[in-house]
Amino acid sequence: MSYLARRLLTFPLVMLGVSILVFVAIRLVPGDAITAMLGTEAGLLTPAQRTALSAYFGIDKPILVQYWSWLLGVLQGDLGISVIHGKPALTIILERFPLTLQLALMSMCVALLVGLPAGVFAATRNEKMSDLAVRIFAMIGQSTPNFVVGLLIIYALSAGFGILPTMGEFTPLFTDPLRNLGQMILPAITLGFAFAASVTRISRSAMLDVLSDDYVRTARSKGVPKRSVIWRHALPNALIPVVTLSGVEFGYLLGGAVLVEQIYALPGLGRLVLEAILQRDYALVQGCVLFIAFNFMVVNLLVDLAYVTLDPRIRLGEGN
Amino acid sequence: MSMLRAIFSHSSGRIGGTIVVIYVVVALLGMFGVTPHNPLQQFRIDRLHAPNAVYWMGTDLFGRDVASRLMNGIGQSFLVAFCSVALATLAGTMLGLTAAWFGKAWDGIVMRIMDVLLAFPAILLALLIIAVVGPGTWTSVAAIAIVYTPIFTRVVRGPALSIKAREFVDAARTFGSSRRYILTRHLLLNLVAPLTVQVTLALAWSLLTEAGLSFLGLGTQPPASSLGLMLADSRNLMENAPWLLIFPAVAIMISILGFNLLGDALRDILDPKTRRSAP
């Protein structure tokens, strides 16, 4: 069976596994679901009310029956009702998702715009001082947690320029694009920082590999200008690992940058998960986790497909 | 000894190794309470004191010595990182080895479960586990261990499969070596190189994850100190007391940098194939 077919076939299986894991995990929460939902107020319920509630939510049935009806609901887009918000979990998730998507796209732009040129630059100056400087920066960038970057940026702005990033009220992109971009640029730089460092490192090493290939030497000896050798001949081949890395990172970012959204008070998906956990809104936790894992897997699948398209050796079954 | 010499003659290995050794010493001192002051003692008169000769890194809102809390916090963060990576390595190695050795159904079951675990972004899986069990130091250890187990399983299974097919393993079987002997002496010993690299890099990630979790208030709980918790506390005070932010921030960065540098050096040393293009 080809790599592609196997990859496509395992996708629904893994997704089923993910749904089982999420379902079981939430059922492992100590105490029963009614207490989890109502908190201390559950103590006020009479046994009859408790039984009625259990029957209403279907938690008096065997676990397999519960899972089956939950799964059928999920397949129809019913992720349950959030206790805190009093709305369907999917509705809340879809409200928060555009921000997370925008943040992920913007930080990917930051990472590629900084990382790719830096990596190519370092590779062409292999083992020189400028290469070393880029490598040191990349290493430091990769070792700095994004919330530390965020805190340091906020501190630098407030101490150096006496300004604080606008927080609290968030403006959606289509309401006021300029204001929105103003609010999003610092979080995007924060998130893109370590990502840019990874892109730098991987594009540098991929570029070094390609630059020592025979076809590049041939191009050079034919007298092709250096710039053209690097950007036209070498870079496209060096891009394959960069595409993979960016895709995987993008998948992570779509999962909501919990810490960065928290620091900049952005109402995105990551912060939603955190709020749901802290407020013990289990239907919402379950919905968010499932939604994020689904996105993450779809992105990873697309990355694999892109990889196969870019590198025919895998399609032919050699690189697997 | 030759390994140590190799690390210290490699440029990033030298820096990374030195950082890691210093941190481990500081962490041990912090864990066993050998700090300039008691990290929990509140010197009320000296609240929010800037760094000086008595309080090397200043004091926090409650008048606690930041240097002592930092040492204690490094101890705490390292404890979580080392325990979780040790657990993940143990579980991942056992699963990977047995999956490669027994193959068939067991391999299928183990690897599909690992696929499911890998279908979550790391921090999300950790958050899910904490949501179920409740926050705390040992929950973070378990959460980080579970998140990284699939990575170790994959790192072990691939090479183990190819070693299993080699002639010397067949020869050992023909000689009548026991299964345990072959698994530990032939397979495991040949996997030490990739495992060492992975352990070092995983330590860097787990320090990062631990700091993130405790920053969110889901890891180590106050009044105990941890690097993430110290950063969370510094948020509202950073303009007036920047030392509360700078010292823990730099401490986290350098610790992760140390493990990353060491991991890169080990990869270069242990795997000569990557030496030419090592980033």
Encode pLDDT of B219-230 as tens digits.
Answer: 888 888 888 989
Which residues in chain B are closer than 8 Å to A138, comparing Cβ atoms? 279
Q: Say if residue B148's pLDDT is above 70.
A: yes
pLDDT for the residue B217: 87
B143 within 8 A of B135, measured Cβ to Cβ = no
Tell me if B231 and A277 make a contact (CB, 8 A cut-off). Answer: no
Tell me if A252 and B238 make a contact (CB, 8 A cut-off). Answer: no
Tell me if B128 and A285 make a contact (CB, 8 A cut-off). Answer: yes
Query: Residue B176 — left, alpha, or beta (φ > 0 → left; ψ -120 to 50 → alpha)?
Result: left
Contacts 24+ apart (CB under 8 A), A225-231: A230/A120, A230/A124, A231/A120
Region B180-206: mean pLDDT is 87
pLDDT for the residue A50: 79
A8 within 8 A of A15, measured Cβ to Cβ = no
B78 within 8 A of B258, measured Cβ to Cβ = no
> How close A115 gets to chain B, by Cα (Å)?
13
Tens digit of each residue's pLDDT (9 = 90 or more) over B85-139: 999 999 999 999 999 988 888 988 998 899 889 888 888 888 888 888 888 889 9
Tell me if A151 and B124 make a contact (CB, 8 A cut-off). Answer: no
Greater model confidence, B38 or A34: B38
Nearest to B245 among A30, A138, A155 (CB): A155
What ipTM was reported for this prediction? 0.85
Nearest chain A residue to B275, by CA? A205
**Distance, CA of A122 to CA of B22 (rounded, Å):** 31
B275 and A CB contact within 8 Å = no
Question: At CA A234, angle to CA A230 and CA A238, rounded to 5?
Answer: 125
Tokens of A205: 């090493």
Least confident of A38-47, A139-148, B32-41, B255-264: A38-47
> How close A74 gets to chain B, by Cα (Å)?
18
B70 within 8 A of B230, measured Cβ to Cβ = yes
| pTM, full prediction | 0.86
B158 and A CB contact within 8 Å = no
Nearest chain B residue to A285, by CA? B128
3-state secondary structure of A81: strand
- Distance spanning both ends of chain A, measured CA to CA: 12
Tens digit of each residue's pLDDT (9 = 90 or more) over B45-83: 877 777 887 777 888 878 788 888 999 999 999 999 999
| Cα–chain center distance at B156 | 18
**Distance, CA of B98 to CA of A208 (rounded, Å):** 38
Contacts 24+ apart (CB under 8 A), A220-228: none
Tell me if A277 and B260 make a contact (CB, 8 A cut-off). Answer: no
Please, what are the averages of pLDDT over each run of 10 residues along chain A (320 residues)? Answer: 77 89 83 68 77 75 84 86 86 91 92 92 84 88 90 86 71 79 88 91 88 85 84 83 86 82 88 86 87 88 80 55
Tell me if B279 and A293 make a contact (CB, 8 A cut-off). Answer: no
User: How many residues does the structure list for chain B?
Assistant: 279
pLDDT for the residue A312: 66
A52 within 8 A of A46, measured Cβ to Cβ = no
pLDDT for the residue B278: 40
Nearest chain A residue to B115, by CA? A14
> How close A132 gets to chain B, by Cα (Å)?
10
pLDDT for the residue B279: 39
3-state secondary structure of B38: coil
At A25, which amino acid appears? A
Tokens of A207: 């570029």
Tokens of B269: 């040393």
A143 within 8 A of B257, measured Cβ to Cβ = yes
Q: Say if residue B35's pLDDT is above 70.
A: yes
Tell me if B120 and A296 make a contact (CB, 8 A cut-off). Answer: yes
Tell me if A148 and B231 make a contact (CB, 8 A cut-off). Answer: yes
**Distance, CA of A94 to CA of A294 (rounded, Å):** 14
Q: Which of A84, A76, A149, A74 is nearest to A111 (CA)?
A: A149
Q: Which of A93, A143, A155, A294 to mutate to test the interface with B (most CBs of B within 10 A)?
A: A143
Which residues in chain A are closer than 8 Å to B242, comparing Cβ atoms? 155, 159
- Distance spanning both ends of chain B, measured CA to CA: 26
Distances (CA, A) of A61 to A51, A54, B75: 12, 9, 48
Which residues in chain B are closer than 8 Å to A136, comparing Cβ atoms? none
**Distance, CA of B219 to CA of B76 (rounded, Å):** 11
User: How many residues does the structure list for chain A?
Assistant: 320
Tokens of A151: 């805190």
In the 8-state DSSP scheme, what is residue A43? G
Nearest chain A residue to B278, by CA? A205
Tell me if B116 and A202 make a contact (CB, 8 A cut-off). Answer: no
B206 and A CB contact within 8 Å = no
Beta-carbon contacts of residue A87 (< 8 Å; ≥ 6 apart) = A81
Tell me if B132 and A252 make a contact (CB, 8 A cut-off). Answer: no
pLDDT for the residue A256: 64
Nearest chain A residue to B117, by CA? A18
Greater model confidence, B272 or A100: A100
Beta-carbon contacts of residue B91 (< 8 Å; ≥ 6 apart) = B145, B149, B152, B153
Tens digit of each residue's pLDDT (9 = 90 or more) over A39-51: 667 777 788 887 8
Q: Which of A152, A177, A165, A173 is nearest to A100 (CA)?
A: A173
> How close B180 gets to chain A, by Cα (Å)?
30
Q: How many CA atoms lie within 13 A of B205 on its CB side?
A: 20
A254 within 8 A of A191, measured Cβ to Cβ = no
Tokens of A202: 């991987």
Tens digit of each residue's pLDDT (9 = 90 or more) over A53-107: 777 776 777 888 888 888 888 888 888 888 788 889 899 999 999 999 999 999 9
